[in-house]
Amino acid sequence: MRAFALKEWWTSKGYDAEVFHPLEQTSSLYRFGTNLYNFIQKRVPWCHSLYFKFLECANLHRSSRFLIGRNHFKSFIEDNKPEVLVSVHAHLNHAYLDITKQCFPESKFIIYCGEFSDGKGFSRHWINPKADLFTGPFESTCETAIRKGMPPSKVQVGGLLLRQAFHTNSDKVERNSKIKLKSMGINPGENFVTLGTGANGTNNHLRICREMNKSLRNSNIKQIVALCGENRKLQKDLNSMHLGKGVRIIALLKVGAEEMVSLLSETCCLLARPGAGISAEALAMHTPIVFNICGGVMPQETNNLNYWKLHGCKTSIISKPEQFPLCLEKKISAIGVTLPSKPSILEIIERIGNEK
């Protein structure tokens, strides 16, 4: 998501940009590893601690000499000759950096780490002093990088990297929200909660809705908006559910950035796993959030939970679906970040790219 957000911003400035996925596009083995990661996230999040530890020790992408698919990536660099290459993935910052510099020494290599804070899921592979710059959304991200070995002179806070709609003036968001909600089948005059899904479609919406049906009889929540990603079967199953006391489910497939902004700015609360993408969007819209850790916590998710703790916010967390209705009976804390008109990282990239 961060890569496509950056491309959207960069091309809007009149520059060329290309998104490339080395792990998925250069090797069937690495593609299998990515798919395994996605499977673990969907089915057994607790098991990811073992997978994460393996990846931390295995050094699969540290040496360009042993990198699988290196010729494919080398051809990509030689064909495109990028003035600046921005990595947004922990496992692209060593062998891929070396190949980039070998093929096109003039290219600048920037690491954008999306982690919010330190934690047991802050991969050591984010750190490479040979990079031209390390940047991340928050001071806590950058302080962690320095502690782990990045030279302070090569570290700078870059702010959140979100799609353009999230940087819209708040007055304009307020004016447009009711129209956007109506277009999605949501009644702006009634309270609603939003069930979020991760980039990989991770969710337990059906179980959550069944539990809410048992407990929302006397609640002021009249609508449950369930984000289904690209899962049409889930959307069909949710839309066929009949809840009592006038509570209805609006199950939506993948929504656009403007729709997401309207949802997060108007919802009573968001239920979502503590992944960096949707958590960043909630921060940008100051959305009250309940973190869904049913099935266990992935190491990277602890980094984001630690950010809430770092800012003195009492986090609302559920580990079982039946706990969510109880959360709605209490005040859910929200913290937020006021975004500038455009991400700070754009100026950083321009500056680094112009350096000789």
User: What is residue 275's three-state secondary structure?
Assistant: coil
User: Is residue 334 situated within a structural domain?
Assistant: no
Q: Give the DSSP letter of residue 329.
A: T
pLDDT tens-digit readout, 161-195:
999 999 987 777 888 899 999 999 999 999 999 99
Q: Are 41 and 48 in contact (CB under 8 A)?
A: yes
- pLDDT of residue 240 exceeding 80, the answer is yes
Same domain assignment for residues 119 and 91: yes
pLDDT tens-digit readout, 8-44:
999 999 999 999 999 999 999 999 999 998 888 888 8
Same domain assignment for residues 157 and 169: no
Q: Report the candidate in 165, 97, 179, 164 with the shortest Cα–Cα distance to residue 132.
A: 97
* Separation CA 72–CA 40 (nearest Å): 28
* Number of Cβ within a 10 Å radius of residue 176: 16
Residue 248 pairs with which residues in a beta bridge? Answer: 223
Counted domains in the chain = 2
Same domain assignment for residues 87 and 173: no
pLDDT at 81: 93
Same domain assignment for residues 158 and 229: no
Same domain assignment for residues 155 and 180: no
pLDDT at 131: 98
Same domain assignment for residues 233 and 322: yes
User: Is residue 322 situated within a structural domain?
Assistant: yes
Same domain assignment for residues 174 and 321: yes
Same domain assignment for residues 187 and 102: no
Mean pLDDT of the chain: 92
Same domain assignment for residues 115 and 224: no
* Separation CA 263–CA 267 (nearest Å): 6
CATH code of the domain in which 221 resides: 3.40.50.2000
User: Is residue 152 situated within a structural domain?
Assistant: yes
Same domain assignment for residues 41 and 119: yes
Q: Are 274 and 305 in contact (CB under 8 A)?
A: yes
Report residue 38: phi and psi, to 5°: -65, -40
pLDDT at 1: 84
- pLDDT of residue 308 exceeding 90, the answer is yes
Q: Report the candidate in 312, 313, 307, 311 with the shortest Cα–Cα distance to residue 332.
A: 313
- pLDDT of residue 202 exceeding 90, the answer is no
Contacts of 314 (CB under 8 A, 6+ apart): 333
User: Is residue 333 situated within a structural domain?
Assistant: no
Q: Give the DSSP letter of residue 307.
A: H
Q: Give the DSSP letter of residue 333.
A: P
* Separation CA 199–CA 24 (nearest Å): 16
* Number of Cβ within a 10 Å radius of residue 349: 25
Same domain assignment for residues 174 and 322: yes
Contacts of 290 (CB under 8 A, 6+ apart): 269, 270, 271, 272, 316, 317, 318, 324, 327, 332
Q: Report the candidate in 122, 156, 121, 119 with the shortest Cα–Cα distance to residue 139.
A: 156
Q: Compute the average pLDDT of residues 233-249.
A: 89
User: Is residue 39 situated within a structural domain?
Assistant: yes
Alpha helices for the chain (secondary structure H): 2-12, 22-25, 28-43, 48-58, 70-80, 95-103, 139-147, 170-183, 205-215, 232-239, 257-266, 276-284, 299-310, 324-327, 345-354
User: Is residue 271 situated within a structural domain?
Assistant: yes
Q: Are 100 and 109 in contact (CB under 8 A)?
A: yes
CATH code of the domain in which 68 resides: 3.40.50
Predicted confidence band of residue 243 (pLDDT cuts 50, 70, 90): confident
Domain that holds residue 219: 165-327
Predicted confidence band of residue 87 (pLDDT cuts 50, 70, 90): very high
User: Is residue 335 situated within a structural domain?
Assistant: no
Q: Are 276 and 88 in contact (CB under 8 A)?
A: no
pLDDT at 95: 97
pLDDT at 356: 65
Q: Compute the average pLDDT of residues 224-239.
A: 93
User: Is residue 184 situated within a structural domain?
Assistant: yes
Same domain assignment for residues 24 and 40: yes
Predicted confidence band of residue 200 (pLDDT cuts 50, 70, 90): low
Q: Are 215 and 252 in contact (CB under 8 A)?
A: no
Specify the pTM. 0.94
The C-alpha angle with vertex 164 and arms to 163 and 165, in degrees rounded to 5, equals: 95
Predicted confidence band of residue 312 (pLDDT cuts 50, 70, 90): confident
pLDDT at 217: 60
